[in-house]
Protein backbone atom coordinates (compact mmCIF):
# COMPACT_ATOMS: atom_id res chain seq x y z
CA UNK A 1 0.00 0.00 0.00
CA UNK A 2 1.44 3.36 -1.01
CA UNK A 3 1.80 6.09 1.58
CA UNK A 4 -0.65 8.47 -0.10
CA UNK A 5 -3.60 6.08 0.15
CA UNK A 6 -5.84 6.78 3.12
CA UNK A 7 -5.79 3.96 5.65
CA UNK A 8 -8.45 4.40 8.37
CA UNK A 9 -6.81 1.79 10.60
CA UNK A 10 -3.59 3.80 10.65
CA UNK A 11 -5.65 6.86 11.60
CA UNK A 12 -7.30 4.90 14.43
CA UNK A 13 -3.90 3.70 15.65
CA UNK A 14 -2.43 7.21 15.59
CA UNK A 15 -5.39 8.50 17.61
CA UNK A 16 -4.96 5.68 20.15
CA UNK A 17 -1.20 6.21 20.44
CA UNK A 18 -1.64 9.97 20.92
CA UNK A 19 -4.03 9.52 23.84
CA UNK A 20 -1.99 6.65 25.30
CA UNK A 21 0.91 9.09 25.47
CA UNK A 22 -1.24 11.67 27.28
CA UNK A 23 -2.24 8.95 29.75
CA UNK A 24 1.42 7.93 30.07
CA UNK A 25 0.64 4.30 29.31
CA UNK A 26 3.60 1.95 28.95
CA UNK A 27 4.65 0.59 25.57
CA UNK A 28 2.99 -2.80 26.02
CA UNK A 29 -0.30 -1.23 27.04
CA UNK A 30 -0.27 1.11 24.05
CA UNK A 31 0.64 -1.71 21.68
CA UNK A 32 -2.15 -3.90 23.03
CA UNK A 33 -4.86 -1.23 22.76
CA UNK A 34 -3.82 -0.06 19.28
CA UNK A 35 -4.05 -3.51 17.71
CA UNK A 36 -6.77 -6.05 17.00
CA UNK A 37 -7.46 -9.04 19.26
CA UNK A 38 -8.53 -11.33 16.42
CA UNK A 39 -10.03 -11.32 12.95
CA UNK A 40 -11.66 -13.80 10.60
CA UNK A 41 -11.28 -13.85 6.82
CA UNK A 42 -14.03 -15.75 5.05
CA UNK A 43 -14.77 -17.08 1.58
CA UNK A 44 -18.54 -17.39 1.11
CA UNK A 45 -19.63 -19.49 -1.89
CA UNK A 46 -23.06 -18.59 -3.28
CA UNK A 47 -25.04 -20.23 -6.05
CA UNK A 48 -26.28 -17.28 -8.07
CA UNK A 49 -29.64 -17.00 -9.80
CA UNK A 50 -28.02 -17.87 -13.14
CA UNK A 51 -26.68 -21.14 -11.72
CA UNK A 52 -23.05 -20.06 -11.47
CA UNK A 53 -21.10 -20.12 -8.20
CA UNK A 54 -19.64 -16.82 -6.96
CA UNK A 55 -17.30 -16.59 -3.97
CA UNK A 56 -17.66 -13.48 -1.81
CA UNK A 57 -14.94 -12.30 0.54
CA UNK A 58 -16.11 -11.60 4.10
CA UNK A 59 -14.53 -10.46 7.36
CA UNK A 60 -15.18 -10.17 11.08
CA UNK A 61 -12.79 -8.10 13.20
CA UNK A 62 -12.84 -8.12 17.02
CA UNK A 63 -10.83 -5.42 18.80
CA UNK A 64 -11.19 -5.52 22.61
CA UNK A 65 -13.74 -7.14 24.94
CA UNK A 66 -12.36 -6.17 28.36
CA UNK A 67 -15.60 -4.33 29.23
CA UNK A 68 -18.00 -6.94 27.82
CA UNK A 69 -18.95 -8.88 24.67
CA UNK A 70 -17.98 -7.47 21.29
CA UNK A 71 -20.61 -5.58 19.32
CA UNK A 72 -20.47 -4.13 15.83
CA UNK A 73 -22.02 -3.79 12.43
CA UNK A 74 -22.02 -5.92 9.30
CA UNK A 75 -21.49 -3.99 6.05
CA UNK A 76 -22.21 -4.96 2.46
CA UNK A 77 -20.05 -2.77 0.25
CA UNK A 78 -18.13 -3.33 -3.02
CA UNK A 79 -15.11 -1.39 -1.74
CA UNK A 80 -14.95 -2.95 1.70
CA UNK A 81 -11.48 -3.63 3.12
CA UNK A 82 -10.16 -5.25 6.25
CA UNK A 83 -8.39 -2.02 7.27
CA UNK A 84 -11.71 -0.13 7.26
CA UNK A 85 -13.21 -2.84 9.46
CA UNK A 86 -10.22 -2.81 11.82
CA UNK A 87 -10.68 0.92 12.29
CA UNK A 88 -14.43 0.57 12.79
CA UNK A 89 -13.90 -2.17 15.39
CA UNK A 90 -11.44 -0.02 17.34
CA UNK A 91 -13.66 3.05 17.15
CA UNK A 92 -16.57 0.93 18.37
CA UNK A 93 -14.56 -0.08 21.44
CA UNK A 94 -13.97 3.57 22.31
CA UNK A 95 -17.58 4.46 21.56
CA UNK A 96 -18.92 1.81 23.93
CA UNK A 97 -16.47 2.92 26.61
CA UNK A 98 -17.28 6.64 26.37
CA UNK A 99 -21.00 5.78 26.57
CA UNK A 100 -20.36 3.52 29.59
CA UNK A 101 -21.78 0.45 27.86
CA UNK A 102 -20.60 -3.01 29.03
CA UNK A 103 -19.41 -3.93 25.52
CA UNK A 104 -16.33 -4.01 23.31
CA UNK A 105 -15.83 -3.21 19.65
CA UNK A 106 -16.07 -5.35 16.52
CA UNK A 107 -17.06 -4.89 12.89
CA UNK A 108 -17.50 -7.01 9.81
CA UNK A 109 -18.65 -7.08 6.27
CA UNK A 110 -18.82 -8.71 2.88
CA UNK A 111 -17.38 -7.34 -0.35
CA UNK A 112 -20.49 -7.10 -2.52
CA UNK A 113 -22.91 -4.59 -3.98
CA UNK A 114 -26.54 -5.28 -2.99
CA UNK A 115 -27.65 -3.09 -5.90
CA UNK A 116 -26.47 -5.85 -8.24
CA UNK A 117 -27.84 -8.82 -6.26
CA UNK A 118 -31.31 -10.32 -6.04
CA UNK A 119 -32.89 -10.72 -2.61
CA UNK A 120 -32.32 -14.46 -2.85
CA UNK A 121 -28.61 -13.95 -3.49
CA UNK A 122 -28.37 -11.51 -0.60
CA UNK A 123 -30.06 -14.02 1.70
CA UNK A 124 -27.53 -16.70 0.73
CA UNK A 125 -24.66 -14.32 1.54
CA UNK A 126 -26.20 -13.56 4.96
CA UNK A 127 -26.63 -17.23 5.80
CA UNK A 128 -23.19 -18.17 4.52
CA UNK A 129 -21.61 -15.41 6.59
CA UNK A 130 -23.27 -16.71 9.75
CA UNK A 131 -22.45 -20.37 9.08
CA UNK A 132 -18.75 -19.54 9.02
CA UNK A 133 -18.86 -17.34 12.12
CA UNK A 134 -21.41 -19.16 14.29
CA UNK A 135 -18.93 -20.47 16.87
CA UNK A 136 -17.42 -17.01 17.39
CA UNK A 137 -20.54 -14.87 17.76
CA UNK A 138 -23.44 -14.79 20.22
CA UNK A 139 -24.92 -12.59 22.97
CA UNK A 140 -22.00 -13.39 25.27
CA UNK A 141 -19.34 -13.30 22.52
CA UNK A 142 -20.01 -10.91 19.63
CA UNK A 143 -23.31 -9.18 18.82
CA UNK A 144 -24.04 -8.26 15.20
CA UNK A 145 -25.83 -5.13 14.00
CA UNK A 146 -26.78 -3.49 10.67
CA UNK A 147 -24.35 -1.11 8.98
CA UNK A 148 -23.82 0.26 5.48
CA UNK A 149 -26.28 -1.34 3.01
CA UNK A 150 -27.58 -3.93 5.46
CA UNK A 151 -31.13 -3.78 6.75
CA UNK A 152 -33.53 -5.42 9.25
CA UNK A 153 -34.22 -8.05 6.55
CA UNK A 154 -30.54 -8.99 6.39
CA UNK A 155 -30.38 -9.13 10.18
CA UNK A 156 -33.34 -11.52 10.53
CA UNK A 157 -31.90 -13.84 7.86
CA UNK A 158 -28.69 -13.92 9.88
CA UNK A 159 -30.51 -14.58 13.15
CA UNK A 160 -32.63 -17.30 11.58
CA UNK A 161 -29.51 -19.09 10.32
CA UNK A 162 -27.82 -18.78 13.72
CA UNK A 163 -30.86 -20.12 15.57
CA UNK A 164 -31.20 -23.05 13.15
CA UNK A 165 -27.56 -24.00 13.80
CA UNK A 166 -28.00 -24.01 17.58
CA UNK A 167 -31.66 -25.13 17.52
CA UNK A 168 -32.94 -22.54 19.99
CA UNK A 169 -34.07 -18.93 20.15
CA UNK A 170 -31.17 -16.55 20.85
CA UNK A 171 -32.48 -13.09 19.82
CA UNK A 172 -29.70 -11.20 21.61
CA UNK A 173 -27.17 -12.41 19.03
CA UNK A 174 -28.34 -10.05 16.29
CA UNK A 175 -29.70 -6.50 16.63
CA UNK A 176 -31.42 -4.20 14.15
CA UNK A 177 -34.06 -6.85 13.49
CA UNK A 178 -37.62 -6.11 12.32
CA UNK A 179 -39.68 -4.85 15.26
CA UNK A 180 -42.21 -7.68 14.96
CA UNK A 181 -39.45 -10.31 15.21
CA UNK A 182 -37.52 -9.13 18.24
CA UNK A 183 -36.37 -5.72 17.09
CA UNK A 184 -36.53 -2.62 19.27
CA UNK A 185 -38.83 0.33 18.81
CA UNK A 186 -36.73 3.45 18.30
CA UNK A 187 -33.84 1.53 16.76
CA UNK A 188 -34.50 2.96 13.29
CA UNK A 189 -34.32 6.55 14.53
CA UNK A 190 -31.56 6.08 17.10
CA UNK A 191 -28.36 6.94 15.22
CA UNK A 192 -29.80 9.98 13.46
CA UNK A 193 -31.49 11.22 16.61
CA UNK A 194 -28.23 10.76 18.53
CA UNK A 195 -26.48 13.06 16.04
CA UNK A 196 -28.96 15.85 16.80
CA UNK A 197 -29.00 15.22 20.56
CA UNK A 198 -25.22 15.76 20.57
CA UNK A 199 -25.67 18.84 18.35
CA UNK A 200 -28.35 20.22 20.68
CA UNK A 201 -25.96 19.98 23.64
CA UNK A 202 -23.15 21.64 21.67
CA UNK A 203 -25.41 24.48 20.55
CA UNK A 204 -26.43 25.04 24.18
CA UNK A 205 -22.77 25.08 25.23
CA UNK A 206 -22.02 27.66 22.52
CA UNK A 207 -25.16 29.67 23.43
CA UNK A 208 -26.64 29.30 19.92
CA UNK A 209 -30.41 28.94 19.40
CA UNK A 210 -31.15 25.91 17.21
CA UNK A 211 -33.99 27.66 15.39
CA UNK A 212 -31.51 30.23 14.10
CA UNK A 213 -29.26 27.65 12.43
CA UNK A 214 -28.91 26.10 9.00
CA UNK A 215 -27.13 22.92 7.95
CA UNK A 216 -25.75 20.94 5.02
CA UNK A 217 -25.81 17.14 5.15
CA UNK A 218 -23.77 14.49 3.34
CA UNK A 219 -25.70 11.27 2.92
CA UNK A 220 -29.39 10.46 2.67
CA UNK A 221 -29.58 7.04 4.27
CA UNK A 222 -31.32 6.21 7.53
CA UNK A 223 -28.89 8.18 9.71
CA UNK A 224 -29.15 11.35 7.64
CA UNK A 225 -32.93 11.17 7.19
CA UNK A 226 -33.63 10.74 10.89
CA UNK A 227 -31.10 13.42 11.78
CA UNK A 228 -32.78 15.84 9.39
CA UNK A 229 -36.19 14.99 10.86
CA UNK A 230 -35.16 15.77 14.45
CA UNK A 231 -33.12 18.82 13.38
CA UNK A 232 -36.22 20.21 11.67
CA UNK A 233 -38.21 19.55 14.86
CA UNK A 234 -35.82 21.69 16.93
CA UNK A 235 -36.15 24.50 14.39
CA UNK A 236 -33.13 24.01 12.13
CA UNK A 237 -33.22 24.28 8.33
CA UNK A 238 -31.25 21.94 6.04
CA UNK A 239 -30.32 23.74 2.82
CA UNK A 240 -28.57 20.91 0.98
CA UNK A 241 -28.15 17.15 0.92
CA UNK A 242 -25.47 15.21 -0.94
CA UNK A 243 -25.82 11.55 -1.87
CA UNK A 244 -24.52 8.86 -4.22
CA UNK A 245 -26.12 8.35 -7.63
CA UNK A 246 -25.91 4.67 -8.55
CA UNK A 247 -26.61 5.20 -12.26
CA UNK A 248 -23.91 7.84 -12.75
CA UNK A 249 -21.53 6.34 -10.15
CA UNK A 250 -20.92 9.75 -8.61
CA UNK A 251 -22.45 11.95 -5.94
CA UNK A 252 -24.62 15.04 -6.33
CA UNK A 253 -25.68 17.80 -3.96
CA UNK A 254 -29.38 18.78 -3.90
CA UNK A 255 -29.85 22.42 -2.84
CA UNK A 256 -32.83 24.62 -1.94
CA UNK A 257 -32.17 28.07 -0.50
CA UNK A 258 -35.38 28.01 1.59
CA UNK A 259 -34.59 24.53 2.88
CA UNK A 260 -35.15 20.99 1.63
CA UNK A 261 -38.43 19.18 2.21
CA UNK A 262 -37.60 15.85 3.87
CA UNK A 263 -40.85 14.10 2.95
CA UNK A 264 -40.51 15.31 -0.62
CA UNK A 265 -37.00 13.88 -1.03
CA UNK A 266 -37.93 10.65 0.75
CA UNK A 267 -40.70 10.14 -1.81
CA UNK A 268 -38.14 10.14 -4.67
CA UNK A 269 -35.34 8.16 -2.99
CA UNK A 270 -34.54 4.44 -3.01
CA UNK A 271 -33.93 2.09 -0.09
CA UNK A 272 -30.21 2.97 -0.09
CA UNK A 273 -30.81 6.73 0.10
CA UNK A 274 -30.19 7.51 -3.56
CA UNK A 275 -32.30 10.42 -4.86
CA UNK A 276 -33.77 10.46 -8.38
CA UNK A 277 -32.06 13.54 -9.76
CA UNK A 278 -34.51 14.23 -12.60
CA UNK A 279 -37.47 14.22 -10.22
CA UNK A 280 -35.55 16.40 -7.76
CA UNK A 281 -34.93 18.98 -10.47
CA UNK A 282 -38.62 18.89 -11.35
CA UNK A 283 -39.25 19.82 -7.71
CA UNK A 284 -36.96 22.86 -8.10
CA UNK A 285 -33.89 21.46 -6.39
CA UNK A 286 -30.65 22.85 -7.75
CA UNK A 287 -28.30 20.03 -8.79
CA UNK A 288 -24.68 20.66 -7.74
CA UNK A 289 -21.53 18.57 -7.67
CA UNK A 290 -21.09 16.07 -4.85
CA UNK A 291 -18.41 18.17 -3.12
CA UNK A 292 -20.55 21.29 -2.93
CA UNK A 293 -22.35 20.19 0.23
CA UNK A 294 -19.16 21.45 1.94
CA UNK A 295 -19.23 24.93 0.46
CA UNK A 296 -22.72 26.03 1.47
CA UNK A 297 -23.23 29.16 3.54
CA UNK A 298 -24.56 27.32 6.61
CA UNK A 299 -23.80 27.06 10.32
CA UNK A 300 -23.53 23.29 10.59
CA UNK A 301 -22.08 20.48 8.48
CA UNK A 302 -23.24 16.91 9.10
CA UNK A 303 -21.13 14.29 7.26
CA UNK A 304 -23.38 11.21 7.59
CA UNK A 305 -22.11 8.98 4.78
CA UNK A 306 -18.70 7.30 4.87
CA UNK A 307 -15.20 7.83 6.24
CA UNK A 308 -12.54 10.34 5.04
CA UNK A 309 -14.82 12.92 3.43
CA UNK A 310 -13.30 16.12 4.87
CA UNK A 311 -9.59 16.06 4.10
CA UNK A 312 -6.51 18.26 3.85
CA UNK A 313 -7.34 18.60 0.14
CA UNK A 314 -10.86 20.01 0.54
CA UNK A 315 -11.25 21.51 4.03
CA UNK A 316 -10.39 24.99 2.76
CA UNK A 317 -13.56 24.96 0.62
CA UNK A 318 -15.71 24.93 3.77
CA UNK A 319 -17.68 28.15 4.15
CA UNK A 320 -16.47 30.64 6.75
CA UNK A 321 -19.99 30.64 8.20
CA UNK A 322 -19.63 27.05 9.50
CA UNK A 323 -19.40 26.88 13.30
CA UNK A 324 -19.96 23.17 14.03
CA UNK A 325 -19.26 19.87 12.26
CA UNK A 326 -21.20 16.88 13.60
CA UNK A 327 -19.79 13.49 12.62
CA UNK A 328 -22.76 11.30 11.75
CA UNK A 329 -20.46 8.87 9.91
CA UNK A 330 -17.45 7.04 11.32
CA UNK A 331 -14.15 8.83 10.72
CA UNK A 332 -15.34 11.39 8.15
CA UNK A 333 -12.58 13.94 8.95
CA UNK A 334 -8.91 13.14 8.49
CA UNK A 335 -6.32 14.10 11.11
CA UNK A 336 -4.66 16.94 9.20
CA UNK A 337 -7.98 18.52 8.22
CA UNK A 338 -9.24 18.31 11.79
CA UNK A 339 -6.28 20.22 13.20
CA UNK A 340 -6.77 23.00 10.66
CA UNK A 341 -10.50 23.17 11.39
CA UNK A 342 -9.85 23.45 15.13
CA UNK A 343 -7.44 26.32 14.44
CA UNK A 344 -10.30 28.01 12.56
CA UNK A 345 -12.35 27.65 15.79
CA UNK A 346 -14.83 25.19 14.28
CA UNK A 347 -16.29 22.88 16.93
CA UNK A 348 -16.10 19.22 15.90
CA UNK A 349 -18.45 16.75 17.55
CA UNK A 350 -16.55 13.44 17.25
CA UNK A 351 -18.18 10.31 15.92
CA UNK A 352 -17.72 8.31 19.10
CA UNK A 353 -20.21 10.69 20.75
CA UNK A 354 -22.40 11.98 17.94
CA UNK A 355 -23.18 8.70 16.17
CA UNK A 356 -23.35 6.60 19.33
CA UNK A 357 -27.14 6.39 19.14
CA UNK A 358 -26.87 3.26 17.00
CA UNK A 359 -24.77 1.20 19.38
CA UNK A 360 -26.80 2.38 22.38
CA UNK A 361 -30.00 1.22 20.68
CA UNK A 362 -28.34 -2.05 19.69
CA UNK A 363 -27.41 -2.60 23.33
CA UNK A 364 -30.97 -1.82 24.40
CA UNK A 365 -32.31 -4.27 21.81
CA UNK A 366 -29.96 -6.98 23.05
CA UNK A 367 -31.02 -6.38 26.67
CA UNK A 368 -34.72 -6.53 25.69
CA UNK A 369 -34.17 -9.66 23.61
CA UNK A 370 -32.38 -11.53 26.38
CA UNK A 371 -35.07 -10.61 28.93
CA UNK A 372 -37.94 -11.10 26.45
CA UNK A 373 -39.41 -7.80 27.64
CA UNK A 374 -39.71 -4.91 25.20
CA UNK A 375 -39.91 -1.19 25.92
CA UNK A 376 -42.11 1.47 24.35
CA UNK A 377 -40.49 3.76 21.76
CA UNK A 378 -40.52 6.82 24.03
CA UNK A 379 -38.71 4.88 26.74
CA UNK A 380 -35.99 3.78 24.31
CA UNK A 381 -35.46 7.30 22.95
CA UNK A 382 -35.55 8.97 26.38
CA UNK A 383 -32.93 6.53 27.70
CA UNK A 384 -30.88 7.23 24.57
CA UNK A 385 -31.13 11.00 25.11
CA UNK A 386 -30.00 10.71 28.73
CA UNK A 387 -27.06 8.45 27.85
CA UNK A 388 -25.70 10.74 25.12
CA UNK A 389 -26.31 13.91 27.13
CA UNK A 390 -24.46 12.54 30.17
CA UNK A 391 -21.53 11.37 28.07
CA UNK A 392 -21.34 14.71 26.24
CA UNK A 393 -21.21 16.54 29.58
CA UNK A 394 -18.48 14.21 30.92
CA UNK A 395 -16.39 14.80 27.81
CA UNK A 396 -17.01 18.56 27.82
CA UNK A 397 -15.82 18.72 31.43
CA UNK A 398 -12.55 17.01 30.45
CA UNK A 399 -12.18 19.31 27.44
CA UNK A 400 -12.52 22.43 29.60
CA UNK A 401 -10.33 21.14 32.42
CA UNK A 402 -7.48 19.84 30.25
CA UNK A 403 -7.89 22.25 27.31
CA UNK A 404 -8.28 19.40 24.82
CA UNK A 405 -10.46 19.03 21.75
CA UNK A 406 -13.72 17.15 22.20
CA UNK A 407 -12.29 14.19 20.26
CA UNK A 408 -9.15 13.98 22.39
CA UNK A 409 -11.27 14.34 25.53
CA UNK A 410 -13.64 11.56 24.45
CA UNK A 411 -10.74 9.28 23.57
CA UNK A 412 -9.00 10.01 26.85
CA UNK A 413 -12.12 9.02 28.78
CA UNK A 414 -12.74 5.86 26.76
CA UNK A 415 -9.16 4.62 26.37
CA UNK A 416 -8.56 5.07 30.07
CA UNK A 417 -11.66 2.98 30.84
CA UNK A 418 -10.60 0.17 28.48
CA UNK A 419 -7.00 0.24 29.71
CA UNK A 420 -8.09 0.01 33.36
CA UNK A 421 -10.37 -2.95 32.58
CA UNK A 422 -7.61 -4.72 30.64
CA UNK A 423 -5.14 -4.18 33.50
CA UNK A 424 -7.60 -5.36 36.13
CA UNK A 425 -8.21 -8.52 34.11
CA UNK A 426 -4.44 -9.10 34.00
CA UNK A 427 -4.22 -8.88 30.21
CA UNK A 428 -1.56 -6.15 30.22
CA distances from 140 to 63, 172, 355 (A): 15, 9, 24
| Per-residue model confidence (pLDDT) at position 20 | 96
Euclidean distance between CA atoms 171 and 138, whole angstroms: 9
Rounded to whole angstroms, the Cα distance separating 338 from 333 reads 6
For residues 321 and 378, the answer to whether their CB atoms sit within 8 Å is no
Higher pLDDT, 316 or 364: 364
Average pLDDT in the chain: 94
Lowest mean pLDDT among 29-43, 95-109, 259-273: 259-273
Q: Are 220 and 275 in contact (CB under 8 A)?
A: yes
Q: Where are the domains of the chain?
A: 1-9+34-170+356-371+403-428, 188-354
- pLDDT given at position 246: 84
Judge contact between 69 and 140, C-beta under 8 A.
yes
The pLDDT-based confidence of 4 (bands split at 50, 70, 90) is: low
Contact status, residue 142 vs residue 113, Cβ threshold 8 Å: no
Which CA distances in Å does 353 have to 170, 172, 358?
29, 24, 11
The yes/no answer on whether domain 1-9+34-170+356-371+403-428 falls in CATH 3.40.50.10860 is yes
The pLDDT score that the predictor gives to residue 308 is: 83
The confidence band for 273, taking pLDDT boundaries of 50, 70 and 90, is confident
List Cα–Cα distances, 426 to 291, 338, 419, in angstroms. 48, 36, 11
For the segment 158-168, the average pLDDT, to the nearest whole number, is: 98
Q: 338-391 pLDDT, tens per residue?
A: 989 999 999 999 999 999 999 999 999 999 999 999 999 999 999 999 999 999
pTM of the entire structure? 0.92
Architecture of the domain made up of 188-354: 3-Layer(aba) Sandwich (3.40)
DSSP summary character for residue 245: E
Confidence at 52, pLDDT banded by 50, 70, 90: very high
Domains 1-9+34-170+356-371+403-428 and 188-354 alike in fold: yes
Closest by Cα among 129, 140, 6, 119 to 75: 129
- Give the C-alpha distances (Å, rounded to integers) separating 218 from 102, 142, 304: 31, 30, 5
Q: How far apart are CA 303 and CA 337, in angstroms?
A: 14
Least confident window among 37-51, 170-184, 323-337 = 323-337
Sheet containing 142-146: give its strands across: 38-47, 53-64, 104-111, 70-77, 142-146
Amino acid sequence: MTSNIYNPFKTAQIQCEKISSLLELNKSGTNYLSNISREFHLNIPVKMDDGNISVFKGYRVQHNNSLGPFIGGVRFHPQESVDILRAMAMWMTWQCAVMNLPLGGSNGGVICDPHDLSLGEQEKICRGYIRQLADNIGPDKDILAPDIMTSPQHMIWMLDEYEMIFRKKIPGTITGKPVKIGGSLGRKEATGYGVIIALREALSELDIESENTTASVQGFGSVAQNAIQLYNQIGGVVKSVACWDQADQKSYTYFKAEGINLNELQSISDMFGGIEKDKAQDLNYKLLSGEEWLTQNVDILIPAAIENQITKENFETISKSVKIIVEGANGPIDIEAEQNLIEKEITILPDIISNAGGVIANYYEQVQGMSNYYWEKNEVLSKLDLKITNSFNDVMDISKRMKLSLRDSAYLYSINNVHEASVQRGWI
